[in-house]
Amino acid sequence: MGTNALKGSLYVQNAKEISYNRGVAIMIGDIVKYASKRVSTFGKWFSNSKSEEMKSFLKNLLFDIDKNHRKEDRYEEDGQYFQSYKWLHNENFESDKFLHLMRWKIKPSDVYRKLTSNIPFNPEGIALDLGCALGLSTIELAKKFSFVFGIDSSFSFIREAKKKTSELGVTNIEFIVSDILDLPFRIKYLTLYLG
Ligand SMILES: C[S@@+](CC[C@H](N)C(=O)[O-])C[C@H]1O[C@@H](n2cnc3c(N)ncnc32)[C@H](O)[C@@H]1O
């Protein structure tokens, strides 16, 4: 927390706010603008906050948040794409009509495995997965590199990605909510970008 922070090999410079909500790292240059586009997600942050410190931090933001902004992000939990991504990426892929029609016995994770199959194993390398969504590609990258950062602007997707990796016991991934077009940090010694 603060204006400058060091976390592992991640150097955060001039970050306006760094906050943690249910274990999800949020590194956003303009948190008010971010929350204004995700009012219902913001409401869930508030209702799920356990510490008084976090509640008071969010309460202070409330004054500036544009509550009339009705354009919710499509990738948030109440958005247009969240449920279908979650449905397809989890246990229901076999009933996907398109895959069924194509008679493909293929899981989404097979696609990501194929995608990363030509990437050489680099046990000292660090990779960055831009727009990682539910983290399927990030999980595959984590098999090739010592550490992977998965970045996505959707809080809900990152929360799901974290849930999935903790179920799988994967420990060499850090998921961060951030805007890939305006990253508030630098990562030194990066070996690979996937976007
Ligand atoms: C089409 S999905 C692709 C997901 C993933 N790469 C995959 O192959 O499954 C696009 C993703 O990019 C994220 N995204 C879009 N614009 C972004 C931005 N400016 N910064 C961070 N993430 C962004 C969305 O939240 C969404 O999860």
Q: Does the Cβ of 116 fall within 6 Å of ligand 1?
A: no
pLDDT confidence of residue 2: 32
Cβ–Cβ contacts within 10 Å for residue 43, how many?
Answer: 13
Residue ranges of the domains in the chain?
Answer: 5-194
Residue nearest to atom 9 of ligand 1 (CA): 133
User: What's the CA-to-centroid distance between 177 and ligand 1, angstroms?
Assistant: 11
pTM of the shown model? 0.84
Mean pLDDT, the chain, whole residue set: 80
pLDDT confidence of residue 153: 95
Ligand 1 pocket: which of 132, 140, 148, 155 to mutate (most atoms within 8 A of CB): 132
pLDDT digits (tens, 9 = 90+) for 96-132: 666 666 666 667 778 888 889 999 999 999 999 999 9
- Which of 43-47, 131-135, 141-145 is predicted least confidently? 43-47
Q: Please state, in angstroms and rounded to a whole number, the distance separating the CA atoms of residues 5 and 170.
A: 25
Residue nearest to atom 24 of ligand 1 (CA): 131
pLDDT confidence of residue 172: 96
What is the CATH code for 5-194? 3.40.50
Nearest to 170 by CA among 192, 147, 191: 147
User: What's the CA-to-centroid distance between 68 and ligand 1, angstroms?
Assistant: 25
pLDDT confidence of residue 6: 35
pLDDT confidence of residue 54: 83
Query: Do the beta carbons of residue 127 and residue 140 sit within 8 Å?
Result: no
pLDDT confidence of residue 128: 94
User: DSSP labels for 8-33?
Assistant: TTEEE-S-SEEEEETTEEEEES-HHH
Q: Does the Cβ of 152 fall within 6 Å of ligand 1?
A: yes
pLDDT confidence of residue 158: 94
Q: Does the Cβ of 137 fall within 6 Å of ligand 1?
A: yes
Q: Does the Cβ of 155 fall within 6 Å of ligand 1?
A: no
Query: Do the beta carbons of residue 185 and residue 171 sit within 8 Å?
Result: no
pLDDT confidence of residue 5: 36
pLDDT confidence of residue 74: 92
The pLDDT confidence band at residue 94, using thresholds 50, 70 and 90, is: low
SS3 of 98, please? Answer: helix
Residue nearest to atom 13 of ligand 1 (CA): 131
Nearest to 141 by CA among 153, 158, 156, 129: 129
Q: β-strands 122-130, 145-152: how paired?
A: parallel
pLDDT confidence of residue 16: 39
pLDDT digits (tens, 9 = 90+) for 11-60: 444 443 444 444 788 888 888 889 999 988 998 888 888 788 888 888 99
Q: β-strands 192-194, 17-21: how paired?
A: unpaired
At a CB cut-off of 8 Å and minimum separation 6, what does 51 contact? none
Looking at the CA of residue 136, tell me the nearest atom of ligand 1. Answer: 9
Q: Does the Cβ of 157 fall within 6 Å of ligand 1?
A: yes
Task: Identify how many contiguous H helices and E strands the chain contains and give both numbers.
Answer: 8, 9
Looking at the CA of residue 89, tell me the nearest atom of ligand 1. Answer: 9
Burial class (CB in 10 A: 0-12, 13-18, 19+), 139: buried
Q: Does the Cβ of 72 fall within 6 Å of ligand 1?
A: no
pLDDT confidence of residue 126: 92
User: On the CB side of 22, how many CA atoms lie within 13 Å of its CA?
Assistant: 16
